A and B are shown apart, each in its own frame.
Chain A
Amino acid sequence: VSLFHCNSFLSGFISAVGSFILGVCLRIQINPQNKGEFQGISPERAFADFLFANTILHLVVINFVG
């Protein structure tokens, strides 16, 4: 752990918040009742986006956690 202990706390915090947001987005996109608002995006596409965004989020978080 480096000197900047605040970095670690912040990265954990951001990880939690980011994961929450991405999960909510996935759920919204997959819900069949919302199909009208997501015309071009199939559930599979939504899931793939979810995974991709998660990867980037974790990359950033791991970098930041020091």
Chain B
Amino acid sequence: LERPFSDLRSAFHGLAGLGCLGARVPDEQAACNFIKSNVDSSSVDSLFYAAQSIRVLSGCEVTISNETREFLLGAVSEDSSVSQIFHAVGALSGFGLPLASQEALSALTARLSKEESVLATIQALETASYLSQQADLSGIVEEIEDLVARLDDLGGVYLQFEEGIETTALFVAAAYKLSDHVGTEPAMKEDQIIQLMNAIFSKKNFETLSEAYSVACAAGSLSRNRYHLPVMIVPDGPAAVSHHQPVLRLQVTDVMSQPLTQASVKLEYAKSASTKATVLQQTEFALSGDIFELNFMSIKPASGYYDFSISVDGDNRFIANKVELKVKVSTEVGITNVDLSTVDKDQSIAPKTTRVAYPAKAKGSFTADSHQNFALSFQLVDVNSGAELTPHQTFVRLHNQKTGQEVVFVAEPDSKNIYKFELDTSERKTEFDSASGTYTLYLIIGDATLENPILWNVADVVIKFPEEDAPSTVQSKNLFVPKPEIQHLFREPEKRPPTVVSNTFTALILSPLLLLLILWIKIGANISNFSFAPSTIIFHIGHAAMLGLMYVYWTQLNMFQTLKYLAILGGVTFLAGNRMLAQKAVKRIAAEQSSRLAKYRTLR
């Protein structure tokens, strides 16, 4: 809102939003000048924005010529859209010009029956609020009920229009404005209003000025109308009481965070969350300044969580005035009867017990080794009430002074609520990594309902472990050091049979080939038809090369490379072979023809 206005519409949103909230406009004169310079007499919208803005600014006058007035009056007819009628009526009433309410109303109802959108209906509601009260506005008021039926219920918590928060907020503002104007209560049930409120105020940051304006107007109308006044009850500070702070403080405000000091705030009941027993009923909260207070510790409740149910009365308009709160009662813990002892394993020697008082440290150190166990027992009581407590965290922490190791154990309570802890060195060896030495013993007590969690250095304990395992394993506990790199082990090639065997079998396989060659020579296979023409040679070489390529493929190439070479070689071989075979064919056909000719001749 501090930014300079970029156009009249944003000026309207800013100024009207401030007016709804009841805040003052920072620089009225500048705003007024801006509006005067930007008003456009030919557009109904701009006139409306100007008129509403000057209503918020005091002492700002915009002169309206007669033509403009005629123009506005002419706009109030059945032909213009609802938003135009709305803007025209708003402008006329903003400028203080006379307006024919009945005519406007009839135009509005006629137009509404044609336009069904939610926004149109909302604008009709606001328009009706500008018209005089003599007109029959009940038809418009019924529209409120229709709109309420059109709200979407999201999970029972939020109630909003599907168009979004802006429309919902505008609806709330318009509905209340009209209801105040007409004098009848809007037809919305209490839960619906609560849900509407949840939906409208669920966003903390708004993107557009118009959205901010609509939410501001909704907030203003919810605080100031005559029928419904939602109440918000918020604890002042954390909802916890204790002996230092025995008073539970509540802020009871309306939507605009104005405290409602006329209301009377009453505690209906306070129940313990765990036992469900009612602790307190029907007590009034006292008003001090703007805050309502109740001294809860006066009834001395035990520590823990409580459910409070609070109601706010005093005005018929209050809604959402019953609230449930969870309140925490916390207390202080004290440790008593702390005994440290070294117990011999054989139980032949009586345990030596030392009593230590908090917060002092035990004098002398204790030893725990393979013959002796170290034991600790204590009791936890509530300082104020003397009752025994069982907090959530009771830890015994042993910290090695040299290596920085820490081991934490839990002390468990027995049936009489006395906490015991025993350290057996041989059992717990692995946790300590067998690092002998002096350990400091700490007692840690904590809980959500404790005011004073305790970290207490009780004693020093010297622990000796039976075998001195390599203390170098201590550094493996440091988790954040990079781990040793893992080398990738390729899969070991498998064990193959010795070369002799495979060689033998290779020879065995190749021997039939040898046999073939020998037999061929024996039967006298002839290669006499071999003509030494170039194409023949090329063909044979190409063919041999292809076979060689097969071998190479087997040993190193992959399919794609092979196919590439094969294509080249195959092409060459094919051409040469074609040539060669064609020549052969020619020769053969010539031979056949000549032999046929010879046969023919002999037959004749």
Chain A residues near B (Cβ < 8 Å): 1, 3, 42-45, 47-48, 51, 55, 58-59, 62-63, 65
Contacts and interface: CB of A to CB of B under 8 A. Distances in A.
Nearest to B582: A44
Nearest to B562: A59
Contact of A51 (B496, B554, B559, B577): B577
Contact of B550 (A42, A48, A51, A59): A59
Contacts of B494: 3
B426 to A, nearest CB: 51
Interface in B531-548: 543, 546-547
B585 interface: yes
Interface of B: 494, 496, 543, 546-547, 550-551, 553-554, 559, 562, 566, 570, 577-578, 581-582, 584-585, 588
Contacts of B551: 62
Nearest to B502: A1
Main secondary structure of the interface of B (DSSP, over half): helix
Contacts, number: 33
Contacts of B581: 44-45, 47-48
A62 B577 contact: no
Contacts of B554: 62, 65
A23 to B, nearest CB: 12
Main secondary structure of the interface of A (DSSP, over half): helix
A62 B582 CA distance: 31
A48 B570 contact: no
B550 A62 contact: yes
B584 A59 contact: no
Contacts of A59: 550, 553, 562, 566
List of 3 A-B pairs having minimum Cβ-Cβ separation, nearest first: A44-B581, A44-B585, A62-B554
A45 B585 CA distance: 9
A9 B496 CA distance: 16
B588 A43 contact: yes
Nearest to A65: B554
B413 to A, nearest CB: 63
A19 B547 CA distance: 14
Contact of B570 (A43, A55, A58, A63): A55
A63 B546 CA distance: 14
B179 to A, nearest CB: 86
Given A48-B577, A51-B543, A51-B577, A62 B585 contact: no
A43 B584 CA distance: 10
Nearest to B546: A55
